[in-house]
Structure 1
Amino acid sequence: MGRRASTLTFAAAVVVLLTAIAALLPVPYVVLMPGPTSNTLGSVEGQGEVISVSGRKTYPTSGHLQLLTVSVRGGPGARMDLFDAVRGWLDSADAVVPRESVYPEGQTREQARQLNAEEMAASQSNATTAALHYLEIPMDVVVQAVLKDAPAEGVVRAGDVIVAVDGEAVADPEAVRAAISAHEPGDTVVVTVERGGERLRLTLKTVDGGGGRAMIGVTPSARVRAPLKVDIKLEDVGGPSAGMMFALGLIDKLTPGELTGGAFVAGTGTISEQGEVGPIGGIQQKLVGARRAGATVFLAPAANCADTRGAVPDGLRVVKVASLEEAVTALDTLREGDAAKVAALPSCA
């Protein structure tokens, strides 16, 4: 072999070696993939019912109200190289995105797990509150926390049930906040609470909580009123995006008839205590996961509509919703089957 050929062979070997080394180096990306799905009307093996209710009459359900998840490859504590990224780019169901768009810089695996667990717990609480408000089932408004050095400190206690503000009954945390913030800072407000079987009228002077908004320093929260008990559980799933489907599942269990009419419906979306449906991440992967699971209808947050374009699998109808009420109305319309009304349902198309 001549010197020129030897040089070219050596150079080619070096290029191959360097390429292999570069491909094995970590890259700052993660891959989003369709994750496991669960029926909020059903059970999970080894865990029992996803939504269980006691203390109030429940009704048979059928069909699916399927919540969806996104699996992530390459998160905190996990290694992803160029080969992993290329595999993700080649799979149309996956998305390769910068790691910092999913995980804040420096976040550890344990911090990510804890945040996901907290968001899931909040979504379950919000879903319960939104569903019971929709069904006009009364809840208690309790003091979740009292801020240090606030007017309420030493007067109001965590666990107090707020019955009224300035003599007007309050039915939810938002009503408490609105009644207090209707005052000017420095005004006096009377909060009626139940504590240990007693009803107390507590007089407090408001302060400026920022921007001229009056506050007394309590964090109100909704709590299911006994004897009703609602338990939502789903292990190994985190984040806030199952909120709407939890709320729909609870409504279906607490009302006569079957919300889905036996159909396979999937969906995603955060939920507020007031029933507002908010956007989520990874909707393209959830669309794929829904169709793979067998769904024919997909309830999508209105704010995510633009993200669904060009990503809807064949055989899946996407209906956009912005509130829990809109989601229930859409399911009622689909179940009743009036062709004109079904055709008029808002779509992301």
Structure 2
Amino acid sequence: MYGAILEGSVLNNVKRIALTAVLLLFAAAALLPLDMYIQKPGGAYELSPLVEVKGGDSDDEGSLSLMTIALSKATPLTYAVSGLMDSRKIMKAGQVRRDGESEEEYNLRQLQLMEDSQINAIYVAYNRAGKPVTLETEGVIVLDVVEGSAADGNLKAGDLITGVEGEPVVSSDGFAEMVASVPTGDSIRLSILRDDEEMEEEISPGTIPGTGGRKGLGVSYAAKRMIETDPEVEIETEDIGGPSAGLMFTLEIMNQLMDEDLTKGYRVAGTGEMNEDGTVGRIGGIDFKVMAADREDIEIFFAPDDEITDEMRERIPGIRSNYETAAETAEKIGTDMKIVPVKTIDDALDYLEALNTKRK
């Protein structure tokens, strides 16, 4: 009898150990982050609550929305599941982050791209609407620092470089020329704003690791611009990053600046980087944005009709324009949503102007 009890007790312990091991393995599969990402459809964000032109028109029947994709760190479990789903894409870290770029630097770059898209959208919208707008450069913001470069230990991501040798930085190209003009072996004095504190750094440009001998500071950067408008406009996007909302920001700002309803009562969404000259730039993940737009009952979707050069085809075999990918995705999922190709903001405005007002 005691032997039977002992045998049962041992068996129960074995079962508990086995169950614990299974649970630990499942937890590791579910929680252990891999150096890979999972991309999937995000959502539609109506822009009227996010964009406010002071005293602007706000009684429109339709809506304009930006589209997002969702990007998350992969785990062994999500990696395995995503490989079986058309609405998921597995991406290597190098497809998301630049070589040597940290998560913090990646997030900073995405937020800076979003800020740039907003500034370009405001500039283009106010120009098209004939409203006063001025654009100035405050300096260049450091996005990342190459390890082992001249800037390593002297500059960090988020630094705003406002001057070089006492001269103001008025453009990113101008900054590059200032640095390039420094004789070999000499140092350069940079005026920096870091965490609201002004400081100066003396740096001698040197060979940048991993660039085949190219000389410089070893930083990537972008122009930090300031825009003033009349009337004032405010945009709140919380933690949404990247440049792809530029086109839709431009349309929403114009819709509030003008008395007429650009949407004609339709639910309109789209994607595309807005350049300062009004052209619409290529973006990533447009197939997932089309899926998300269909799920959100969007009726009209603007897609960049970007030009694919021979060089791009040679470098990326099978590459297609954003519009081609969007149209193919729309056909694949069987949506009634209209996919509209646009090369410029004027293409989108012309399409909306030609629309008949939606019947209620």
Secondary structure in 2 aligned to 1:240?
Answer: coil
Instruction: Spell out the pairing of 1:187-226 with structure 2 (5 A cutoff).
Output: 223-226=227-230
Report the equivalent of 2:329. Answer: 311
Q: CA deviation at 1:68?
A: 0.5
The reply on whether 1:31 has 2:47 as its aligned counterpart is no
> For the residues of structure 1 that align with 2:135 and 2:277, how far apart are their CA atoms?
14
Q: How does 1:10-89 map to 2 (within 5 A)?
A: 24=29, 27-41=34-48, 43=49, 50-54=50-54, 57-74=56-73, 79-81=74-76, 83-89=77-83
- Pairs within 5 Å for 1:1-349: 24=29, 27-41=34-48, 43=49, 50-54=50-54, 57-74=56-73, 79-81=74-76, 83-145=77-139, 147-149=163-165, 153=167, 223-226=227-230, 228-303=231-306, 304-312=322-330, 313=333, 314-335=335-356
CA contact (8 A) 1:59 1:254 kept: no
Equivalent residues of 1:302, 1:321 under 8 A apart: yes
Report deviation, 1:307: 2.5
After superposition, what is the alpha-carbon deviation per residue over 1:146-167, rounded to whole angstroms, capped at 9, x for unaligned?
65248xx3xx798xxxxxxxxx
Q: Deviations over 1:294-329 (max 9, x none)?
A: 112110011212332531132121101011111111
Give 1:143 shift.
5.0
Q: Secondary structure at the match of 2:164?
A: coil
CA RMSD between the two structures: 2.9
Query: Does the 8 Å contact 2:327/2:339 carry over to 1?
Result: no
1:262/1:143 Cα in 2 relative to 1: closer, same or farther (>3 Å)? Answer: same
Q: Which residue identity does 1:66 align to in structure 2?
A: S
Q: Which amino acid aligns with 1:224?
A: E
Asked if 2 retains the 8 angstrom alpha-carbon contact of 1:51 and 1:231, the reply is yes
Distance 1:147 1:63, change over 3 A: same
Distance in 2 between the 1:264 and 1:245 partners? 12
SS in structure 1 opposite 2:263? coil
Q: Deviations along 1:34-58, whole A, 9 cap, x unmatched?
A: 11321112x2xxxxxx11112x553
Q: Which secondary structure does the structure 2 equivalent of 1:223 belong to?
A: strand
Percent identical among aligned pairs is 26
User: How far apart are 1:93 and its partner, in Å?
Assistant: 1.6
Gaps of 5+ in 2: 1-21, 140-161, 175-222, 307-321
How far apart, CA to CA, are the structure 1 residues paired with 2:58 and 2:107? 35
For residues 143 and 119 of structure 1, the distance between their equivalents in structure 2, rounded to whole angstroms, comes to 15
Provide runs of 4+ in structure 1 moved above 4 Å: 23-28, 219-222
| Distance change in 2, residues 1:111/1:157 (3 Å) | closer
**1:59·1:257 contact (CA, 8 Å) conserved in 2?**
no
- How far 1:230 moved relative to its partner? 0.6
The 8 Å contact of residues 265 and 357 in structure 2, kept in 1 or not, is answered as no
Q: CA deviation at 1:282?
A: 0.6
Give the TM-score normalised by structure 2: 0.61
Would you say the 8 A contact 1:73–1:80 is kept in 2?
no
CA contact (8 A) 2:269 2:293 kept: yes
Q: What is the CA–CA distance in structure 2 between the aligned matches of 1:36 and 1:309, rounded to whole Å?
A: 19
Give, in angstroms, the shift of residue 106 of structure 1. Answer: 3.7
Give the TM-score normalised by the residue count of structure 1: 0.62
Compute the displacement of 1:268 (Å). Answer: 0.4
Tell me, in whole angstroms, the C-alpha distance in 2 between the residues paired with 1:96 and 1:334: 39
Aligned partners of 1:231 and 1:38: how far apart in 2? 16
CA separation in 2, counterparts of 1:235 and 1:119? 14
Shift in CA distance, 220/286, structure 1 to aligned 2, threshold 3 Å: closer
| Alpha-carbon distance between aligned partners in 1 of 2:69 and 2:254, rounded to the nearest angstrom | 25
Deviation (angstroms), 1:288: 0.5
Deviation per CA, 1:56-78, whole angstroms, max 9, x where unpaired? 5535222121101011121xxxx
Alignment length, in residue pairs?
242
* SS of aligned partner of 1:87: helix
CA distance in 1, matches of 2:101, 2:226: 31
Q: Is the Cα contact below 8 Å between 1:134 and 1:325 reproduced in 2?
A: no
